[in-house]
């Protein structure tokens, strides 16, 4: 199956074209995240497709760069800001200060999703709905905290991705069964084809990364480089696992 768009296709859904890392602005090279190999070795990422996947091993820097991109684009991250760390790192959230982004036609509204912190948003949303029950209609009609983890996430995806904008997703497949991942694949395909939504997705899911027309960037390479779907570890390891069972 040809995963790339046909020549001449309108790229109306593309809002963000490029991300650049300015190494000269680094406040340090010894502390996280500025000590990450891909952060030090990558200058520019091309993001001019409706859906771009960040692929790579745990700890390769996918989520780190995605969070920094959210900060740089002014996209709020709904999480508990009162959390404490065993060893405070004054540089942990400063990578966004060293990024430059190139838009097609100016900034657009955006949203950041990470499975590990989405519970914070769900609890806030249900608290708001306690005083304004009509809000529940936006996310499936019932409180998010009364759904399973996967159902809660899917309710958000199905509702939020109907709104035009830039969506940054950190491992959205977490808590989703294979069937639900296929459903999310359909939602991503429909939203990106609509012409007003763009997605940058950090993922390990071979189901999601199979999306036709998407670009996959490997964080296992330095600098980060585009990789073919069938060359990703996610695809190769899953294929080998099932072949070994036969």
- Assess if residue 126 is contained within a domain: no
Give 193's contacts (C-beta < 8 A, 6+ positions apart).
13, 50
**Among 77-86, 141-150, 188-197, which stretch is predicted with the lowest mean pLDDT?**
77-86
Cα(125)–Cα(135) distance, integer angstroms: 8
Task: Provide the token pair at 97.
Answer: 């200060």
Q: Please state the rounded mean pLDDT for residues 137-159.
A: 81
8 Å CB contact between 110 and 81: no
Q: Using one digit for the tens of pLDDT, what is the confidence trace for 219-245?
A: 999 999 999 999 999 999 999 999 999
Per-residue pLDDT, 68: 98
Residue 192 CA neighbour count, 13 Å, CB half = 25
Number of residues that make up the chain: 246
Task: Provide the token pair at 224.
Answer: 């980060």
- Paired with 101 in beta bridges are 19
Q: Using one digit for the tens of pLDDT, what is the confidence trace for 188-226?
A: 999 999 989 999 999 999 999 999 999 999 999 999 999
Percent of the chain with pLDDT over 90: 70
- Assess if residue 147 is contained within a domain: no
Q: Using one digit for the tens of pLDDT, what is the confidence trace for 66-79?
A: 999 999 999 999 87
Per-residue pLDDT, 144: 72
Number of domains in the chain: 1
Give 120's contacts (C-beta < 8 A, 6+ positions apart).
78, 79, 80
pLDDT at 117 over 90: no
Residue showing tokens 């009509």? 134
Q: Please state the rounded mean pLDDT for residues 123-150.
A: 77
Cα(145)–Cα(150) distance, integer angstroms: 11
- Assess if residue 75 is contained within a domain: yes
Q: How far is CA 175 from the centre of its chain?
A: 15
- Assess if residue 145 is contained within a domain: no
- Assess if residue 6 is contained within a domain: no
pLDDT at 11 over 90: no
- Assess if residue 143 is contained within a domain: no
Q: For the chain, how many helices (H) and strands (E)?
A: 6, 9
Per-residue pLDDT, 2: 43
Percent of the chain with pLDDT over 70: 92
Q: Using one digit for the tens of pLDDT, what is the confidence trace for 17-71?
A: 999 999 999 999 999 999 999 999 999 999 999 999 999 999 999 999 999 999 9
- Assess if residue 57 is contained within a domain: yes
CATH number at residue 224: 3.40.50
What SS3 class is residue 4?
A: coil
For residues 237 and 155, which has the higher predicted lDDT (pLDDT)?
A: 237
8 Å CB contact between 116 and 174: yes
Residue 188 CA neighbour count, 13 Å, CB half = 27
Per-residue pLDDT, 82: 54
- The whole domain housing 70 covers 16-119+163-245
């Amino acid at each position: 199956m040809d995963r790339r768009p046909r020549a001449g296709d309108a790229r109306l859904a593309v809002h963000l074209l490029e991300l650049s890392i300015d190494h000269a602005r680094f406040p340090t090279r010894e502390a996280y995240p500025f000590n990450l190999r891909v952060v030090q070795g990558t200058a520019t990422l091309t993001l001019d497709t409706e859906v771009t996947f960040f692929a790579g091993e745990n700890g390769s820097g996918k989520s780190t760069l995605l969070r920094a991109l959210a900060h740089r684009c002014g996209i709020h991250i709904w999480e508990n800001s009162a959390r404490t760390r065993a060893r405070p790192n004054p540089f942990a959230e400063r990578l966004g200060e060293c990024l430059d982004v190139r838009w097609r036609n100016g900034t657009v509204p955006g949203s950041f999703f990470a499975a590990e912190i989405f519970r914070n948003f769900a609890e806030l949303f249900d608290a708001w709905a306690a005083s304004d029950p009509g809000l529940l209609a936006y996310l499936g009609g019932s409180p998010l905290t009364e759904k399973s983890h996967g159902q809660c996430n899917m309710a958000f995806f199905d509702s939020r991705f109907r709104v035009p904008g830039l969506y940054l997703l950190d491992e959205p497949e977490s808590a989703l069964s294979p069937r639900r991942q296929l459903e999310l694949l359909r939602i991503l395909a429909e939203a990106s084809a609509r012409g007003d939504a763009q997605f940058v997705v950090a993922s390990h899911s071979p189901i999601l990364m199979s999306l036709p027309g998407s670009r996959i960037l490997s964080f296992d390479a330095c600098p980060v480089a585009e990789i073919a779907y069938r060359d990703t570890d996610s695809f190769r390891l899953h294929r080998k696992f099932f072949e070994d069972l036969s």
